[in-house]
Structure 1
Amino acid sequence: MVQEFYSEFEFRTEIIRSLLRSVLLKTIVPIYKANAKQVQLGVSDFYRLKSYTDEHFRQRLSVAEIALSIGKSVKQVDKLAKDNAGISVKELLDERALIEAKLQLAFSQYSITDITEQLGFNEATNMTKFFKRHTDVSPKDFRQLCRMGLRKS
């Protein structure tokens, strides 16, 4: 490359460019591919985790049970969740249960007790505490607010 740099050949710039491209292809591309493969693995693992939590949130599984089910350690699944969603696995589960609770309360005729059972809570008081902790309103009040909003439209 140094010889080409000092040569008088009219296509020296093209030759140097080609040589540099070859060096980059030989050194940088394998590193890039390795990093890209790691990222893809992380994303597909997170997709498996998210799919599993979406399918099984009603069972109120522990993080350890989820980790075992997808073949990872508790630390690995928590890191996976934090890296990809910015929240813990427990928060992923709670978020999904909360979405379902809101949907059921807003759009179904099921009683709060029935919704409690559907979401895997042992008692209505547990579901009420969970719901209030995340929304600052009780399930009953949330349902009333939603129904008032639907009537106004």
Structure 2
Amino acid sequence: MYIITDQLKDIGFSVNRLDHIIKRNNNKKKLNTLEFYCICIILKDIRMSVENVPYTIESSNMVFIGPQKTVEFDTANGHDALIITFSSSFYERSVKDSLFLNSKLFFNDNSDIFTAPLINQEEMRIVFMDRMESFRKKDRSLYISAAHNAIEKLILDAFLYIPTQEVRKDVKFDYLYCVNRFKIILQRDYKTSKKVSHYASELNITPRKLTEMTEYILGKTAKHVIIEKLIHESKKLLSYSNYTISQIAYELGFSDEGNFTNFFKKHTQKNPSEMRNN
């Protein structure tokens, strides 16, 4: 998400105040989650955008953000937020942990973020700032264990806000893991690679196997997932940017404006210009 600290490189976990992160990044407020998972503990009302979509998050909320997301903070003063950052290798110790990381919290089909109320703001501030520092100074293994447990508490609290019908207990975890890896790679490569074969190759599986997995987990083919991603990004650029349609076509990796327009119209039954005028 930012210039990776020695601690994040070493153990795959860090927690920092937002203003410290921005200062370390030469006052840049636009960051990227890279391969990491992030939980933002919002301590004061804050404005932010994720993948160019703006959000206003009220105090005493948690924001869950998955890997390969561009995040920009409009406001970042003092104690606005704590940013908890961790890798999958740091957190995953069991099948249950895999379920948490590959859940709607970090891979929400309807939004690039998932928000949930923070049960006790002051307690979490103490846990992640004061207690964590005490554990860090005392013993490395205790620090790692305390960090894992604290993250799990936040995730469990947020899980209460995922509709029961969406928490699938019979899911194949290898499929779930692979599909979410596909979505991470798609987030990284959608502008340059639009074929299922590219993503299957990145995952070391066949295109047919990838489609089997996406159909099982998402109820749609891998090709359809790619198309949905391109349409989603197209609509965001049309709604939230000042780019011309030609510039949007270039930004999304289409050969020209006509090619992009034909693609967009085929899958939405509308011209890009119609979306812009709405």
The TM-score range, normalised by the shorter chain, is 0.5 to 0.7
Alignment partner, residue 230 of structure 2: 97
Query: Shift in Å at residue 58 of structure 1?
Result: 0.8
Q: Check the 8 A contact 2:214/2:220 in 1, yes or no.
A: yes
Alignment of 1:58 onto 2:191:
yes
Q: Which runs of 4+ in 1 moved over 2 A?
A: none
More RCO (CA 8 Å, sep 6+): 1
- Is residue 78–residue 89 contact of structure 1 (8 Å, CA) maintained in 2? yes
Deviations 1:38-85 (A, max 9, x none): 811111111111211122111133111211111111111010111111
Deviations 1:87-119 (A, max 9, x none): 111111110110110010011101111100111
How much has 1:142 moved relative to structure 2? 1.1
Q: Which runs of 5+ in 1 are unaligned?
A: 1-35, 146-153
State the match for 1:19 in structure 2: none
Q: Distance in 2 between matches of 1:108 and 1:76?
A: 37
Q: Please state if 1:75 is matched with 2:172.
A: no
Task: Please identify, of 110-119 and 44-53, the stretch whose mean Cα deviation from structure 2 is larger.
Answer: 44-53
Identity value in percent: 24
Partner of residue 258, structure 2: 125
Instruction: State yes or no: 1:115 paired with 2:248.
Output: yes
Larger radius of gyration: 1
> Which residue of the partner structure matches residue 134 of structure 1?
267
Q: Which has the higher strand share?
A: 2
SS of aligned partner of 2:190 = helix
Contact 2:171 2:217 survives alignment (8 Å): no
Greater helix share, structure number: 1
3-state DSSP class of the match of 1:58? coil
> In structure 2, do the counterparts of structure 1 residues 141 and 37 end up closer, same or farther at CA, with 3 Å as the change threshold?
closer
User: Are 2:179 and 1:46 aligned?
Assistant: yes
* Count of aligned pairs between the two proteins: 110
User: CA-atom RMSD, angstroms?
Assistant: 1.7
> Aligned partners of 1:124, 1:118: CA distance in 2, in Å?
11
Q: Secondary structure at the match of 2:177?
A: helix
In structure 2, runs of 5+ residues without a counterpart are 1-168
